[in-house]
Amino acid sequence: MTSGNDGTTRANDRPAAGRLSSPTTAQGLLTMGVEEEYLLVDPVTREVHPAGDQVVALASSAGLGDRVAQELTRYQVEARTDPQVESKDLGEQVRAMRATVADSAAQLGLRIVSSGSPVLGPAAPPPLSRGSRYALSAATFRALDDEQTACALHVHIGMPDLDRALQVSNHLRCRLPVLIALSANSPYWLGRDTGYASWRTMTWARWPVAGPPPYFASCAHFEDLVGSLLQGGALLDRGGLYWDIRPSHHVPTLEVRVADAVTTAEETLLLCAVVRAMAATALKAVADGEPAPRPRPEVLRAACWRAARDGLAGHSLDPVTNTLGPSRAGVEQCLAEVAPALRDHGDLELVRSAWRRLRADGNGADRQRFVHQRRSSLLDVVDHLITHTTPDQGSA
């Protein structure tokens, strides 16, 4: 959920991940952009701190302009890139926008962390950002807003048109558990270990329109369903389509929004490259007339739950074959299947190198728990997140 700086702009009404003029290059390569959400923390108490509006104003003036915005709670800030073709260029922009937001927070004596959930903080409800949209959200969704101090990574992939965006969405649904396991980075919630690798996945699933998207038979099917949800009051507007995959209604992208906010910029690049390769592989399947897998909705939902619980450390459920296997093996199978698209986009070595590190060191949730085990200190976990979100920030 996002807004303009005054909190009145409708979610998703501004250009997502920058201004996208063309979804592909002349060579047929897909563009990609990213939105990252950060938490603001006090470096002394390590608790989340409500200064989102102030940090947004400073970061906007420091060069980010309308690429930085408030989020649902005042503990959060969102920043987004312009669309890019080269991962190297995307990486430079991700690091630069992180540094700008971190510098702006530092002017207020604060730090930023990229994590799916707050490690430490006061009990819910959180202070909501100012603006008519957030007031309407509180009136409509009520206590649902109380536990939504959750930060995600949203990847936008350029698409030729709505029809193909929906067909790609159909193909990507079965990939969602892999993306959850790769990105899981929210094991702690306000002072306690939830037992999950991605608790954000579980809290976000409470919204009336969230989780894996339906299988769409056509554009008309999509429009009819969205119209029914709007009429029934489950959405404030089309920006409230919180499915894990959704087509943008104002720019030619497909947004994959299932990932936790990951700690390092390198992990953001990994997720972006993998999502783009999945989309490119799906586009080829669409062009070749290959039908999309249609896992049973109940099994797909269960597979996402299992991925959120276990992350990379346990087992994953394949929603197509209904088989349970090691999560790391499931990721490796997926990466092998999209390797041709990774190679076409120049991302194969980047992804292989990043995956080797994740396979050895674990995802963000694994690393947060490893830090905690050293001294049983959640303060150490927050310091770890501060240091690795923007290495030049420093900690308390």
> What pLDDT score was predicted for residue 249?
75
Residue 156 has pLDDT above 70, yes or no: yes
> What pLDDT score was predicted for residue 3?
38
Domains of the chain: 32-389 (3.30.590.20)
> Cα–Cα distance between 328 and 162 in angstroms, integer?
33
SS3 (DSSP) at 192: strand
Lookup: tokens for 352: 């292989």
Confidence at 23, pLDDT banded by 50, 70, 90: low
Residue 38 has pLDDT above 80, yes or no: yes
Confidence at 318, pLDDT banded by 50, 70, 90: very high
| Cα–chain center distance at 153 | 2
12-21, 110-119, 151-160, 177-186: which range is least confident on average?
12-21
Give counts: helices (H), strands (E), the chain.
Answer: 14, 13
Q: Which is more confidently placed, 17 or 42?
A: 42
Residue 20 has pLDDT above 70, yes or no: no
Residue 243 has pLDDT above 60, yes or no: yes
What value does the mean pLDDT take over residues 49-68?
98
Residue 308 has pLDDT above 60, yes or no: yes
Give the chain's mean pLDDT.
92
Q: Which is more confidently placed, 14 or 328?
A: 328
Residue 108 has pLDDT above 90, yes or no: yes
Residue 45 has pLDDT above 60, yes or no: yes
49-58, 135-144, 209-218: which range is least confident on average?
135-144
SS3 (DSSP) at 274: helix
Confidence at 392, pLDDT banded by 50, 70, 90: confident
pLDDT digits (tens, 9 = 90+) for 219-231: 999 999 999 999 9
> What pLDDT score was predicted for residue 129?
87
Q: Which is more confidently placed, 132 or 314?
A: 314
Confidence at 257, pLDDT banded by 50, 70, 90: very high
> What pLDDT score was predicted for residue 330?
97
205: CB partners within 8 A, 6+ apart: 211, 304
User: CB-hemisphere CA count at 13 Å for 168?
Assistant: 28
Confidence at 130, pLDDT banded by 50, 70, 90: confident
> What pLDDT score was predicted for residue 148?
84
User: CB-hemisphere CA count at 13 Å for 324?
Assistant: 8
Residue 114 has pLDDT above 50, yes or no: yes
> Cα–Cα distance between 71 and 219 in angstroms, integer?
30
> What pLDDT score was predicted for residue 124?
78
Query: Percent of the chain scored above 90 by pLDDT?
Result: 82
